[in-house]
Structure 1
């Protein structure tokens, strides 16, 4: 049994539209293809809310300012970008906050699959990647971050996180280097 899973996080149309690096989605696609070829489960993590916003608190600075209907069923901007879309047999995990664990069944899916090593990619480095890495480390998961499989609107924040913060709790590598050794 493979104990590794690739988490492809927040690769939704709304987030992808803010990424200016034309090579970003092809790199993430390379990671997804490498995982699939190696038999590593790919879990697609998205942010999503109920219609009517009953799961968004007015106290939540990050989400309370979203327009009505954002990231709710039927919002086209909530769809996973077609270049990195899940296969029918791949799990889509819906989270309610920044971390992939918050308000989702991710931990149940990981535990059920015997997963103890997470490979992280997604948008934004300072959002879902940072929050998920911190929580996963506290839950004793082995972690790998694909630095060029993560993107952030602030390049300096991305650099500081991937070069100085993440290495304290994770192996940090590139998509290409990881793809060579994915198993």
Structure 2
């Protein structure tokens, strides 16, 4: 299976407030995080953080320009913090990115190489944002990839459905959190069930 890491991406207070659909998303994501830790996988949190004044935001980047205009994603702001329901623990890594992909403007690649990680499990908000961008970037870097379908959310449920049911399965493994947890559980524990 290789040396894997769970990427928990953009699950920040203000993003959760915009996207959470009341379906138990944070509970499912919390279960995935605990399962990864129990299996000895690295848990890496990725957050988007823009410097005060947003010097890294180009007016040609519509998404970031609109977000910055709304005051979103400013480093150090309370809304930019990782949601407390899935907060990092000692030993987890937090990476700050400046763009859509978890790799863009961050040191994620350095962290992954230092830990000899070759397989990524993707979860986060939004499916059509950080998950899609990171999936494409990681695929080009030859990482093994799994997307946790119900470990992702999008502001548009139809876009989420299309990506996770039609597009992503053509490129990478997709799984529900519950099914994925069975694959990372201790084999002796699975046989005992």
TM range (shorter): over 0.9
Equivalence for 2:11: 11
TM-score by length of 2: 0.90
In structure 1, stretches of 5+ residues that fail to align are: none
CA–CA distance in structure 1, aligned partners of residues 91 and 157 of structure 2: 34
Deviation per CA, 1:40-92: give whole Å up to 9, x if none: 00000000011221111122101112237532232111000001111132110
Q: Within 5 Å, which residues of 2 pair with 1:46-85?
A: 46-65=47-66, 66-67=68-69, 70-85=72-87
CA–CA distance in structure 1, aligned partners of residues 160 and 56 of structure 2: 29
Q: Within 5 Å, which residues of 2 pair with 1:1-183?
A: 3-18=3-18, 19-65=20-66, 66-67=68-69, 70-182=72-184
Tell me the CA shift for residue 150 of structure 1: 0.4
Tell me the CA shift for residue 169 of structure 1: 1.7
Deviation per CA, 1:23-52: give whole Å up to 9, x if none: 100000000000000110000000001122
How many residues align? The count is: 183
Tell me the CA shift for residue 93 of structure 1: 0.7
CA–CA distance in structure 2, aligned partners of residues 170 and 117 of structure 1: 11
Greater fraction of residues in helix: 2
CA–CA distance in structure 1, aligned partners of residues 49 and 75 of structure 2: 8
TM-score by length of 1: 0.95
Q: CA RMSD in A?
A: 1.5
In structure 2, stretches of 5+ residues that fail to align are: 186-193
